[in-house]
Amino acid sequence: MTSALQKDAPDGAFPFDNSYARLPPNFFVRQAPSQAAEPRLIKLNEELAAELRLDVELLKRDGEAIFSGNLLPDGADPLAMAYAGHQFGGFVPLLGDGRAILLGEVIDRNGKRRDIQLKGAGQTPFSRRGDGRAALGPVLREYIVSEAMYALGVPATRALAAVTTGQPVYREEVLPGAVFTRVAASHIRVGTFQFFAARGDAEAIKALADYVIERHYPELKDAENPYLALYREVCERQAALIARWLHVGFIHGVMNTDNMTISGETIDFGPCAFMDSYDPATVFSSIDHQGRYAYANQPGIGQWNLARLGETLLPLFDADQEKALELANEVIKLYGERFQAHWLSGMRRKIGVVSEEDGDLELIQSLLALMQAGQADFTLAFRRLSALAGNDAAEAAFTASFREPEACGEWLGRWRERLSRDPQSPAGRAEAMRKVNPAFIPRNHRIEQAILAATEDGDFSLFEALLTVLAKPYDDQPALAAYMEPPQPDERVLQTFCGT
């Protein structure tokens, strides 16, 4: 069924149907990409291109020109979106797409509307003295991590293509330039609502909320209070998303309100990282000096960000400000309960139980405390626990994950007692656990190795190999078992950086 947003979109190289460009002009600035000197296509995600109903053969031929911004496909309506945001708790009333340009939207083979955006394609009116360009390293990082998140089953933006520009970018050192093509359900953020709220533009807030409901949550149009229902649904999706981050050891690194999508997708993979040894205080981002966005802080920061969204929507909830605030507080309180439910449900699956008992939370917390004290690798320990669920002979491998293997005995006894009251068979349990406990994650040292080879030697073989193994994170892949291993002490990556 055709959406109210949708006009007839012809099949072609890019079957564009650009609904955001039909919003009022204060929502964006039209901006063509800058030209790249000598673009070269590094990677085309052919499977995703086909899903988006794009002409794959044409992209193989002209992709370097299209994805560098040198050639605009028919129907493109390039623009930079306006938004604001809280960055590390401080409000910035004007941010916007400073190095990203939305080419347009397509309707994919499943009838879903998807944005196609170039990152690093030159200056926009929101660049704030920046060059609008991206370096190759951050482009490769975002490609790797976004596709890994997709394979892990975590809602996230996708990577369609990466190109080098043939031009240097100047940061602390001279780096090769590149452009990343990102696909998203949309690029509407909490900060988009904040942009209009900061200007007292109630009409624009309502128009944006109506657009979001039509695009992402059409089932809410007939709700008794559609805007409150929208707020509740956005909170629910974020609660589920952040729980999934914690389940796979992901640390976003820069959870500013301009990096929280209304659609519920993970967006922006600059200083993000996956934990090696479990520690809830883990921080990788070079700019997160106070640990605001540490692994264990992410649920609370999500709630804080969503409270800022609620503030922008208060006039739509109820004409009575006090009543509107009461309604918003009920929803934001519910977020905490929903996050805990999603997190606990996922953690039950990670330790191999499907039934629910009151002691499950304590059992899980005891394991995490044991992992922290024993400096156990988060991913590897849970993967080995999956093997142990189906084969007692795997106990030595599991306990070897800990600095003091003998410390695991008491917990393992309680775990086995708990499993005895769960209805699954050992084989069925082990199989189910392997589907939620990945063998492979985009480990920081592997990403850095791939980036170093590409930027210094022009060698993209490590990048390609990493994409191959991460496409099947829950499979054993014995020939690639080395990619499961945590870094050696001299391979550890202690900091990650913003870049794209």
Q: 9-23, 66-80, 286-300: lowest mean pLDDT where?
A: 9-23
pLDDT score, position 499: 59
Tell me the pLDDT of the chain averaged across its residues: 95
Q: Which residue has the tokens 């189906």?
A: 390
Long-range contacts, 197-203 (Cβ 8 Å, 24+): 197/311, 197/312, 198/84, 198/91, 198/93, 199/93, 201/26, 202/315
Question: What confidence category does residue 5 fall into, taking pLDDT thresholds of 50, 70 and 90?
Answer: low
User: How far is 403 from 406, CA to CA, in rounded Å?
Assistant: 9
Told to judge if 258 belongs to the known catalytic residues of this protein, a careful annotator would answer: yes
Mean pLDDT of 412-441: 97
Per-domain boundaries in the chain: 20-187, 191-349
Mean pLDDT of 64-90: 97
Query: Does position 497 have pLDDT exceeding 80, yes or no?
Result: no
Query: Does position 10 have pLDDT exceeding 50, yes or no?
Result: no
Query: Does position 444 have pLDDT exceeding 90, yes or no?
Result: yes
Instruction: Say if strands 100-107 and 113-119 run parallel, antiparallel, or are unpaired.
Output: antiparallel
Mean pLDDT of 69-82: 96
User: How far is 262 from 190, CA to CA, in rounded Å?
Assistant: 6
pLDDT score, position 4: 54
Q: What is the pLDDT of residues 284-340, one digit of tens each?
A: 888 888 999 999 999 999 999 999 999 999 999 999 999 999 999 999 999 999 999
Mean pLDDT of 236-240: 98
pLDDT score, position 496: 74
Q: 242-251, 391-400, 490-499: lowest mean pLDDT where?
A: 490-499
pLDDT score, position 11: 45
Mean pLDDT of 240-268: 97
Q: What is the pLDDT of residues 395-406, one digit of tens each?
A: 999 999 999 999
pLDDT score, position 494: 73
Mean pLDDT of 162-170: 96
Query: Does position 9 have pLDDT exceeding 90, yes or no?
Result: no
Collapsed DSSP state (helix, strand, coil) of residue 48: helix
The catalytically annotated residue of 115, 258, 268, 377 is 258
Query: Does position 87 have pLDDT exceeding 90, yes or no?
Result: yes
- CB contact at 8 A, 115 and 102: yes
Q: Which residues pair with 250 in a beta bridge?
A: 274
Instruction: Pick the closest to residue 39 from 242, 182, 178 (CA basis).
Output: 178
Q: What is the pLDDT of residues 107-157, one digit of tens each?
A: 999 999 999 999 999 999 999 989 999 999 999 999 999 999 999 999 999
The percentage of residues in the chain with a pLDDT greater than 90, rounded to a whole number, is 92
Collapsed DSSP state (helix, strand, coil) of residue 67: helix
pLDDT score, position 8: 46
